[in-house]
């Protein structure tokens, strides 16, 4: 089982982008899914999370610009980012709590990261 993030790239300030993350392999269910980011020399920070019921939470600095969503049937999570700023430059990682059987606990999985650079 793997998490595969994609969608990063070089974008101009003010632009928009959507990151995607897919869970590949066999799982029973997926609980919370999250996006983190890490810029060089900084700690990895949680920017957005979405629970299995669709409830969402955002880091304060990205509220209003970042939108997290998920496709439960495809086991995918997305991060739509608008009005990109240079400070959004970072490697973005997806993360999910995976369940492999009915009544089992969840296991924390990380994707490999996708790099976003915001620059003119």
pLDDT given for residue 40 in this prediction: 92
Residue 115 pLDDT level (bands cut at 50, 70, 90):
very high
What 3 state SS string does 19-59 have?
EEEEEECCCCEEEEEEEEEECCCCCCEEEEEECCCCCEEEC
Q: What is the pLDDT of residues 12-25, one digit of tens each?
A: 999 999 999 999 99
pLDDT given for residue 14 in this prediction: 97
Look at the block and give the residue holding tokens 């980011």.
Answer: 37
Q: What is the mean pLDDT of residues 46-63?
A: 96
Distance CA 112, CA 55 (A): 25
Residue 69 pLDDT level (bands cut at 50, 70, 90):
very high
Q: Work out whether strand 76-81 and strand 9-11 pair parallel, antiparallel, or are unpaired.
A: unpaired
For residue 88, give the 3-state DSSP assignment.
helix
Query: What DSSP element (H or E) covers 76?
Result: strand 76-81
pLDDT given for residue 43 in this prediction: 96
């Amino acid at each position: 089982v793997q998490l595969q993030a994609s969608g990063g790239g070089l974008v101009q300030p003010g632009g928009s982008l959507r990151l995607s993350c897919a869970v590949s392999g066999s799982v029973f269910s997926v609980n919370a899914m999250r996006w983190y980011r890490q810029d060089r020399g900084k700690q990895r920070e949680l920017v957005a999370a979405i629970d299995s019921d669709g409830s969402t939470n955002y880091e304060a600095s990205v509220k209003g610009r970042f939108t997290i969503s998920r496709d439960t049937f495809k086991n995918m999570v997305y991060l739509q980012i608008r009005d990109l700023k240079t400070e959004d430059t970072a490697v973005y990682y997806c993360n999910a709590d995976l369940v492999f059987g009915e009544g089992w606990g969840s296991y924390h999985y990380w994707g490999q990261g996708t790099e976003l650079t915001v620059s003119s």
